[in-house]
Amino acid sequence: MDARRPIVPFPFHRMNNRMNKGPPVNMINHPQYGLDSHGPQNLEIKSKRMAVSWRDDTLFYVPDRTGKQGVCILEPSMQPGQEYFEAEIVSTGRWGAIRIGLAPPDHSLEVHLGIEGNSVAFSVDDSAVYGQDQTVTLQCRACKPGDKIGVGIKFGENYMEGADEKCPVVFTLNGKEIHRRDVVIPFKGLCPAVSMASQGQMVRFKARCDWSSQEEEMVIDSCEDDWARLHDVTVHGQILAYAGRGKTIADVGLAQAKKPLSPTNHYFELEIIDPGKNCYIAIGLAKKDYPKKRHPGWNYGSIAYHADDGKIFKGSGVGDSFGPRCHKGDIMGCGIMFPRDYIMDSDEGESDNEEVNSVVKAWPDREPFNRLNQLDRIAQDNFAIDVYDLSEDEYDDYLSEEEEYELQIDGVQQGGKVQVHVFFTRNGTTIGRREVHIPASGFYPTIGMLSLDEKVRVDLRPLSG
């Protein structure tokens, strides 16, 4: 998407906008009811609250003269398919009396969560879980602004709504499970809930997030170590999920790999698992210190192919027509065609990657490129080759063809700058390439996302040489 194009992922009616601003302080000491926002898939969020104001997706503690705690219960209740939510701590106020958890729709608005009834909640200030006649102090640090508390219910296969059943309730901190306990789900169900009791407290609420349980994460090897920077993006194995607000172009979620592309690992891919609301997904390359709130391709030192409009962006917020748009299930790829004598420089101490910190020697004169790079080099700009449908004999023919025509490498080293061709693929077919200068420290695989519920599966080494 163009950097200058405004996005409005949450269309609100004027009446709802008035309600989002919250009532005046002198009117907040009695229960408030109303439609607050639309969550993912146009899910209507209704709230019942006291001493709490709601603006956009953020809850504010607004005490009355009595100083009572504020309680907010958000409907509808949790159910299979909508069993997890997150709340980000924006401000802990003077002291961290914030509790995030679950409560029945008829829970009292004058009592902290976890004290009475079937409510259960995690307390931010003392890292304890309260509820249903049980208090457990967890061995984790106190929460601070920016931390995300998640709460989910693991409904059984035979769960019947309306029956008092016990189900495991899971609490997470920044995507990692910190506590699990069996909780009775009452007849009316359990709703996301927040209680606050200190001036200045603010909590940003995100309804119905994607959730991978701890057991699922244990099955898939963690790939978190592959990433140097994750801004408003969460990692579950090979899956990257957008975790930002998705309201303006400043809400970009960025993931940048720890290692740059090199002659021995020159290509990577992503598969669109969920395009989210607008499919503002981008794949590309960027310098190491690329701004975390900018889509790859928008700023100097980057190039990227954007899924929503099929445009290529090369250091500019305005893109050029390039290829087809991409949708759910499509595989987008990005790679570099390195010259044979390419030498990778690096600033001293800039990376812990041995491949970067050492000089990459010139390749042997007749050593072949790996398959995708070899085929892309001999493809014409206007002629697409399906790189995955060739037999071994066809592959050998292409190698012979390259030797016969003695095609030149496009990258040349001049004045410390190396020109290379960056190419992009869609579902295994090369759709085009652009000539760029590669930074001295290398080009790092970079993925951008910008609308709610976007999720991609990333393979940083699909064709390692």
Shared domain for 313 and 204, answered yes or no, is: no
Domain around 151: 14-212
Angle at 250 between CA 248 and CA 254, to 5 degrees: 120
Residue of 59, 306, 297 lying closest to 197 (CA atoms) = 59
The predicted model scores a pTM of 0.48
Shared domain for 271 and 395, answered yes or no, is: yes
Shared domain for 309 and 436, answered yes or no, is: yes
pLDDT at residue 4, rounded to an integer: 63
pLDDT at residue 447, rounded to an integer: 98
Domain count, the chain: 2
Shared domain for 228 and 371, answered yes or no, is: yes
Regions of the chain where pLDDT drops below 70: 4-47, 65-67, 96, 162-163, 208-223, 343-417, 463-465
Shared domain for 226 and 205, answered yes or no, is: no
**Assigned domain for 5 exists:** no
pLDDT at residue 214, rounded to an integer: 42
For residues 239 and 233, give the distance between their C-alpha atoms in angstroms, rounded to a whole number.
10
**Cα–Cα distance list, 64 to 20, 70, 394 (Å):** 19, 9, 77
Task: Please provide the DSSP assignment of 393-425 as one string.
Answer: HHHHHHHHHHHHHTPPPS--EETTEEEEEEEEE
**Assigned domain for 452 exists:** yes
Shared domain for 202 and 241, answered yes or no, is: no
For residues 41 and 275, give the distance between their C-alpha atoms in angstroms, rounded to a whole number.
12
pLDDT at residue 211, rounded to an integer: 65
CA dihedral 290, 436, 373, 449 (to 10 degrees): 30
